[in-house]
Chain A
């Protein structure tokens, strides 16, 4: 027999006793709650801002860090403080997982400083985190007078020199444009001259290109500029430069002498050349970020000397082939596919590759010779560049031709272009090939087959529809459907529609003949009953019975669907039980009507007759709907 230990009380048992939870389970719920709270605490977004150090000499920078934990930043509003320079932000993100709880943080870093000594109050930054606005705490920065030589022209308390005064634009970089592989000093209209474009940025500068390359003026068009420039470091005039190189093509649309100058926008930060440098921490990366840097939005331009301007020559008219469509360059035929068997009237697909270098945009579909035997239709072309500037490459034309004349002619493809190096036109052909054309000859077209050789793609301006000389109606750009008035008018129309329907239903209801008849019967019944009551009050026995009899007839008429005056005692006798109060009252009413007995004696019984009338009316079954 086991004696229960006194330390462990016996578990109570019996009906109605709820046993307690097991001991381990009691700890689970609080633990779960604590974890949920902890997770919630850890999941909530929090933002902190720090500034290190809080005191710096003028011209040096402190680091302002804004750390956002467990939140997504969608907007940031940095305050502006006079005389305080803020560079940034730089972003870094960190993910951390501790005991299964994941947290993330985003750090935004600014370099903050000033050239003017003083105490600066940095207002809170406002961030939008997960849809809600959060502000950092305000910060204080103390800028002490610099022990080093101050930047040229900068006295304590004065504003920093403007970038233009401190250094010329040239110090921020420049652009050069070189004709690549071309010893000529002239180019032809339509010729794409390959160019190498270099942006020269000082080696110790930070630069961000903020636009694409643009030709200066409207004389030249830039083609196929490489997407990403090559980056190199070069020395020029004893100075190190960071060089960005693009390749592209320049073409001119009109004859003349022009400077092939280009420009590009950039944001360049260079060290202040008049100030000495030094960071307390000796961090060259920090120095580059903010260490008396002068930043400027600049336009880097190339500058062509007068002697280096480019002459654009118009294509000569003399010697121009009939099938010349404007292609300038050097081209040759590649793979060619011309079917050997033809049927007149049946289209056949021709494929031809043209390789070379030049203005492929002006290269048009070759023509099949002899032209009179075939009719050509415009097809498709696909270009494959051979270099980064797409100056060389190949175009494959696929188009349809229809044979019009039967026979066994020798056919070839023909293409004419202008060769810029020699300044002459050249016509190339594919080798002659004999084809078999069967079928009956097709009649000649009424008009010459002008589409046999499709025109070269016209320049944009040539194909544009001209100016409109007459004005059209002025209208709002926002259509009515997107304005509140549209909804209002639609709802109004709907309301009027509903009103009309309701009015119509009401009108039909009013004009319903059966309903009208029922209304009239009801009115007549009410009138008769009111008359009978009035007579009863007056003691007019004859009037009471007359009007009450009429009321009974009207009630029975709506039930039996017979005219009320035609209902007599005989009808009631046949249709109602003998003990019906209707029968009793009607019989008495007839006696009063026809016998004219002394009303004095019967007048005492008027209340009883009124009660009998009410019984009679209430004993009647509900009226049957008229058919």
Chain B
């Protein structure tokens, strides 16, 4: 038995060391980027490079938004904050700075969701709702399999299976409803250009339809030849914009 334990001990120690080293390295890289806060341009580059190379986190996106706000780049700042809010919707800091970034970009009249259900559905991130949905499905599947194999062999087993099914149905229903309500977020884009202009046709020389605001939320449509059709929520405005002027809130694979 000692021999078997030794066989796994070395790789386990190595793996743990690697993980700790990676975590330390990531923490060091985060600290380096944070140290450049005094120079917004350098800070923005550092956060963008960190996100590009090691992935996004709410803190990294939030700090990137701060740097971009100081640089006066409202559109990309709003995008960074919006993405940070996707990952951490309960952060008051992110909500506050997002509001300020929108106001500095000239957006007014934005209101929070008006009813309790929408508040509830936005309390958790899409990632969390997805995990809840899968958890509910797993509970129902496990309870079903247990009943199929063993049946209600005893009262405690019966209670446990019924409780699992009940909890699974409740969780899956609520999470599924939340995901259904928020399914349109896959089509949301954020205007990153300083002065985006909607055009009638997908040509630079086409007649302008409307001037929009940096950081504004839009609904993305079809893309063709480097242009994207988009519509402005709660309005009849729609038109074409170069792909470089708008970025999907949720990156498309």
Contacts and interface: CB of A to CB of B under 8 A. Distances in A.
B146 A464 contact: no
Contacts of B140: 493, 497
Interface stretch (A169-177, A403-411, A482-490): A482-490
Contacts of B56: 474-477
A477 B104 CA distance: 25
B250 A493 contact: no
Contacts of A494: 137, 141
A86 to B, nearest CB: 13
Contacts of A73: 201
A461 interface: yes
Interface residues of B, number: 66
A90 B205 contact: yes
Contact of B203 (A89, A497, A506): A89
B44 interface: no
A490 B134 contact: yes
Nearest to A508: B151
Contacts of B93: 465, 468
A468 B252 CA distance: 28
B97 interface: yes
A110 to B, nearest CB: 11
A470 interface: yes
B148 A482 contact: no
A468 B69 CA distance: 15
B37 A128 contact: no
B70 interface: yes
Interface in B108-165: 125-127, 129-131, 133-134, 137-138, 140-149, 151
A165 to B, nearest CB: 26
Contact of A461 (B58, B70, B129, B131): B70
Interface in B30-49: 30, 34, 37
Chain B interface, >50% SS class: helix
Contacts of A211: 194-195
Nearest to A126: B225
A402 B26 CA distance: 55
A479 B201 CA distance: 33
Contacts of A499: 144-145, 148
Contacts of A471: 26-27, 30, 57, 59-60
Contact of B66 (A467, A489, A497, A506): A467
Interface stretch (A74-82, A237-245, A581-589): A74-82
Interface in A449-466: 460-461, 463-466
B83 interface: yes
A469 interface: yes
A236 interface: no
B97 A464 contact: yes
A495 to B, nearest CB: 8
Most buried by B among A91, A472, A481: A481
A607 interface: no
A273 B138 CA distance: 76
Given A468-B93, A493-B134, A482 B186 contact: yes
Contacts of B147: 500-501, 504
Contacts of B57: 471-475
A502 interface: yes
Chain A interface, >50% SS class: mixed
B63 interface: yes
A498 B224 CA distance: 44
A212 interface: yes
B11 interface: no
A66 to B, nearest CB: 13
A478 interface: yes
A232 to B, nearest CB: 23
Interface string B85-106: 0111000110011001001100
Given A74-B202, A481-B133, A482-B250, A497 B59 contact: no
B149 A503 contact: yes
Given A474-B56, A480-B127, A501-B148, A493 B141 contact: yes
A281 interface: no
A507 interface: yes
A415 B129 CA distance: 51
B133 A75 contact: no
A486 B205 contact: no
A492 B202 CA distance: 43
A497 B69 contact: no
A483 B134 contact: no
Nearest to A267: B204
A476 B225 contact: no
5 contacts: A211-B195, A472-B59, A479-B130, A480-B126, A489-B134
Given A471-B26, A476-B55, 6 more contacts: A75-B202, A91-B206, A468-B59, A471-B60, A474-B55, A507-B151
Closest 10 CB pairs of A and B: A503-B148, A500-B144, A479-B126, A493-B137, A500-B148, A480-B130, A465-B93, A496-B141, A504-B148, A500-B145
Interface of A: 73-77, 88-91, 128, 211-212, 218, 460-461, 463-483, 486, 489-490, 492-494, 496-504, 506-508
